[in-house]
Structure 1
Amino acid sequence: MAHVHANARFVPLGIAILTVSDTRGFDQDGSGDLLSERLSEAGHALVERRIVPDDIYRIRAVVSKWVVRDDVQVILVNGGTGFTVRDTTPEALTPLFDRSVDGYGELFRQLSFETIGTSTIQSRAVAGVANATLIFAMPGSPKACATAWDGILESQLDARTRPCNFVAMVMPEQQACGSRELPKVPDHGQGARA
């Protein structure tokens, strides 16, 4: 865990939004709209926004293209995290993760328990890191997206959040604290961001 300076400054991140839905277009994508508004209000940049059907390979294809882009540090995926046959977002994303962020799903379910009770166990919210890009998947309702953003993501994507946040992980040029510098990750010709 990298500890944050008391005088850390906000660092805007490039964020892509993927809505997973068989039925929604941009004119009915309230969840994508909410996430777009929230990240812009927080000072981040919306780099790209897409909608794909509930299909493992289409989800994985879009996310795979985004994780190699230098202008995308965070990917927010909404939809496809339930238990129906068509809900395949976790299966699409988890093979891409270099590391899982297990606490995200745990905390998301804890927060949503306050509003939806035990139904929260049907949420398979997952998160991980792929090629130094953070990926967070959440249910597709605007209320669930608000829970994820307001309760977890807004603060963890803010370089000023103490004692630690995810910004130094995806922006390695940001110094973690005065006594420690983040190690540079070597690029061995595999396209990983340093």
Structure 2
Amino acid sequence: MSRIDDSRDFIPVRIAILTVSDTREMADDRSGDTLVGRLEAAGHHLADRAIVRDDRLAIAAQLRNWIADPEIDVIISTGGTGLTGRDVTVEAHRDVYEKEIEAFSTVFTLVSMKKIGTSAVQSRATGGVAGGTYLFALPGSPGGCKDAWDEILALQLDYRHRPCNFVEIFPRLDEHRRRK
């Protein structure tokens, strides 16, 4: 059963928030604000924040810049995970992934089904790993961001979460790159 083990110390992680939108600015970025508020309330650190237009190459370039930054452990993007022609965030994420976390999409869909029913099929939320950094692409709605954070990421980014969590395997994410 999933639980928090209070005998372990909390380890804050450094998280960058990327909003993907042709129309949003920092002043009206409710989804980005939602994620920043939640990660800080949980005890994590906001490492950086940006807004990028719905452009696959620009999104992938921002992701690569943050992956290369040793001061960033996790990247969470919001927006561009739907089905319209401008929704290219998932493709940009997959352009940089070394490994996809397929179950993230499945679990997000299950969480969403409880809230929005079959409309959950319209989200292509995804997760992956690249360069020792976790990446997650969430919907552009504050509700979708709340659901992903509260039901999945808050737990998996907490070192105290049992039986396992993303934080405890950070040191092994890039072990394939080390010389033997």
Question: Scaled by the length of structure 2, what TM-score is found?
Answer: 0.92
* Aligned match of 1:67: 67
> Structure 2: how far apart are the matches of 1:119 and 1:78?
18
Offset at residue 97 of structure 1 (A): 0.9
* Aligned match of 1:42: 42
5+ residue gaps in structure 1?
173-181, 190-194
Is 2:85 the counterpart of 1:85? Answer: yes
Q: SS in structure 1 opposite 2:162?
A: coil
Offset at residue 115 of structure 1 (A): 1.4
> Structure 1: how far apart are the matches of 2:85 and 2:15?
29
Offset at residue 140 of structure 1 (A): 0.4
Contact 1:21–1:80 under 8 Å retained in 2: yes
Contact 2:5–2:161 under 8 Å retained in 1: no
> Structure 2: how far apart are the matches of 1:147 and 1:96?
25
String of CA shifts for 1:55-89, please: whole Å, max 9, x gaps. 10110000000001111000000000000000001
> Structure 1: how far apart are the matches of 2:124 and 2:174?
33
Query: Root-mean-square deviation (CA), in Å?
Result: 1.9
> Structure 2: how far apart are the matches of 1:184 and 1:15?
18
Q: SS in structure 2 opposite 1:117?
A: helix
Identity %: 45
* Aligned match of 1:192: none
Is 2:93 the counterpart of 1:103? Answer: no
Offset at residue 8 of structure 1 (A): 2.1
Offset at residue 169 of structure 1 (A): 2.4
Q: Give aligned pairs, total.
A: 176
Is 2:142 the counterpart of 1:152? Answer: no
* Aligned match of 1:185: 175
> Judging changes above 3 Å, is the alpha-carbon distance between structure 1 residues 5 and 112 closer, same or farther for their aligned structure 2 residues?
closer
Runs of 4+ in 1 over 4 A off after TM superposition: 186-189
Q: Which has the higher helix share?
A: 2
> Structure 2: how far apart are the matches of 1:183 and 1:119?
34
Q: Highest Rg: 1 or 2?
A: 1
* Aligned match of 2:12: 12
> Structure 1: how far apart are the matches of 2:107 and 2:173?
28
